[in-house]
Amino acid sequence: MKKINRVLISVYDKTNLLDLINNLKKTNKKVQIISTGGTKKILEEHKINVTSVEEITEYPSILGGRVKTLHPKIFGGILNRSKNTIDKKELIKYNILNIDMVIVDLYPFEETLKTTDKEEEIIEKIDIGGVSLIRAAAKNYKDILVIPGTEEFPKAIKLINAKNGCSDLNDRLLFAQKSFYKTSQYEFAISEYFKKKVGNNSIFPINFHTPDKSITLRYGENPHQKGMYYGDLNDLFEQLNGKELSYNNLLDIDAAVHLIEEFSEPSFGILKHNNACGFASDNKIINAWKKALAGDPISAFGGVLITNGNIDLECAEEINNLFFEILIANSFSQEALKLLKTKKNRIILKKKNTNLENMSFRTVLNGILCQQRDHITDSDKAKTVSNLKVSESKMSDLLFASKICKHTKSNAIVLVKNKQLLASGCGQTSRVDALKQAILKAKHFGFSLENSVMASDAFFPFPDCVEIANNEGVDAVIQPGGSKNDHLSIEYCNENDMAMIFTGYRHFKH
């Protein structure tokens, strides 16, 4: 147990501070209180003796209050180790007082963001000294009890009373953990503010969202699994209708939004289990919808629909004929929305912005994998490697197919014609099996593969896929290239009047 004989206080919010100090003084009448200016004044008004930080440091508060506690006599008092003989000697040498407890409440940065957009006011609510005090005290938890915010005052009062003005190692460790969590969330909020200012140039713009932005989901991937979502969906969508989003809904929405972002012309997608079962682009959204649905009207049942355009009444009437879980669009006409909202559980989302994360995370074993999202769209390095060249329209189809392939689970093959997804083979252990799956599916829904194009997410180790596709009528292929046997696939194309494009980029999606 360690007696609390000297306390440093630096708080913005003084709520319940008097209760904390009075309870502390009941257990130790000789406890010394060190405080910054505003807090000192309030405590003295209540007949509590206080030593100012300036008296300890022998240095005034400067730069309009920006620098008050950042001084060796303060941080030396916090960071010294009680069992370290060199530390003890230096305390005596430099006349530094040992501190046993630190009480801090940070400037209200997030609250300020909610009340103003003036940069000067926001920047001034970035706490520097307070965060430093918390981190220093938490680091030295073996000797220091740190209380990192007013929300912890009731627990601190209970501890002080239960242990007669003392704390043990477990108490200090618990509050140290709370402290580092508090500062990490505080600094995350500041990072998010600056991230919005720099946009997509942010070096590491991933959201570790705060608990107040968490959602308890109905369940996880399956009903027997618990699920949570940490994030702020309101930043991306306005939910206009429907039930609460589920774990699987969120996965599908994430896949749908990242897919549609690849396309600038009017497009419509239908997704199931994170893969597009229908996708098309057209000058008119309603035509894009009809082509997308034709790609696989069976799988579309219960799917997630997304478009980068406006849903008008004509389009809504067509869509309304299908049972679907979710519809995402940039906007809706009032008449369309009225019709679509006739099904109360149908989730309708209006997309607000496209400020998507640049990083992705997933848990693996006892750790976390992190990577940059795949932002390459293949047009950068695309080059024709066959003798047969492609027309502008054919190249447009090839790039269209490659974009969809990029967002399809590996191994993946995508078949396209006239900017319409005819079929895909996804999640197969063999690329040949992925192609065969796509061919069978296209034929099942009555598509001819004559003059269609094929995209692959990775290179062909052998020319077998190219040959199979050619026998079905495919006349152009887009793939990353990079196999030691690339020449075999190219030779087959040259011998059979096929075109082949290398992109230089693989698009595995596991």
pLDDT at res. 199: 63
Asked if the model's pLDDT at residue 388 lies above 60, the reply is: yes
Sheet with strand 101-105: strands edge to edge: 51-52, 32-35, 6-11, 101-105, 145-147
- For residue 152, give the DSSP letter: G
Q: What is the pLDDT of residues 244-257, one digit of tens each?
A: 999 999 999 999 99
Q: What is the pLDDT of residues 466-507, one digit of tens each?
A: 999 999 999 999 999 999 999 999 999 999 999 999 999 999
Return mean pLDDT, the chain. 90
Do the Cβ atoms of 24 and 4 come closer than 8 Å? Answer: yes
- For residue 212, give the DSSP letter: G
pLDDT band at 358 (very low <50, low <70, confident <90, very high): confident
Lowest mean pLDDT among 23-32, 166-175, 317-326: 23-32
Considering the domain 229-351, what is its CATH architecture?
Answer: 3-Layer(aba) Sandwich (3.40)
Q: How far is CA 502 from the centre of its chain?
A: 32
What distance separates the 2 farthest-apart alpha carbons in the chain? 97
Considering the domain 383-502, what is its CATH architecture?
Answer: 3-Layer(aba) Sandwich (3.40)
Instruction: Kindly report the number of other CB atoms within 10 A of residue 407's CB atom.
Output: 26
pLDDT band at 204 (very low <50, low <70, confident <90, very high): very low
What ranges do the domains of the chain cover? Answer: 2-197, 229-351, 383-502
pLDDT at res. 289: 97
Picking from 351, 350, 312, the residue whose alpha carbon sits closest to that of residue 334 is: 312
- In DSSP terms, 112 is beta-bridged to none
Counting other chains too, the contacts that 272-279 makes at CB distance below 8 Å and 24 or more residues apart are: 272/299, 272/300, 272/302, 272/303, 272/304, 274/409, 275/407, 275/408, 275/409, 275/424, 275/426, 275/427, 276/404, 276/407, 276/408, 276/421, 276/424, 277/303, 277/424, 278/421, 279/404, 279/420, 279/421
Helix ranges restricted to H, 341-391: none
Which range among 14-23, 107-116, 293-302, 360-369 has the greatest average pLDDT? 293-302
pLDDT at res. 64: 77
Q: What is the mean pLDDT of residues 395-411?
A: 96
Q: How far apart are CA 369 and CA 101, in angstroms?
A: 38
Whether the domain at 229-351 and the domain at 383-502 fall into the same CATH topology? yes
Sheet with strand 237-241: strands edge to edge: 237-241, 347-351, 324-329, 303-307, 267-272, 275-281, 420-425, 413-417, 453-456, 476-479, 499-502, 383-384
Q: What is the pLDDT of residues 302-322, one digit of tens each?
A: 999 999 999 999 999 999 999
CATH topology of domain 2-197: Rossmann fold (3.40.50)
Q: State how far the alpha carbon of 314 is from the alpha carbons of 199, 309, 353, in Å.
A: 37, 13, 25
Do the Cβ atoms of 455 and 463 come closer than 8 Å? Answer: no
Do the Cβ atoms of 136 and 105 come closer than 8 Å? Answer: no
- What residues are annotated to the active site? 139, 273
> Token pair of 103, please?
């009480």
176: left (phi over 0), alpha (psi -120 to 50) or beta: alpha
pLDDT at res. 172: 93
pLDDT at res. 478: 97
Q: What angle do CA 21, 27, 31 make, to 5 degrees?
A: 60
Picking from 474, 471, 468, the residue whose alpha carbon sits closest to that of residue 451 is: 474
pLDDT at res. 367: 85
- Name residues whose C-beta falls within 8 Å of residue 219's C-beta, 6 or more positions apart in sequence: 225, 226, 227, 246, 247
pLDDT band at 363 (very low <50, low <70, confident <90, very high): confident
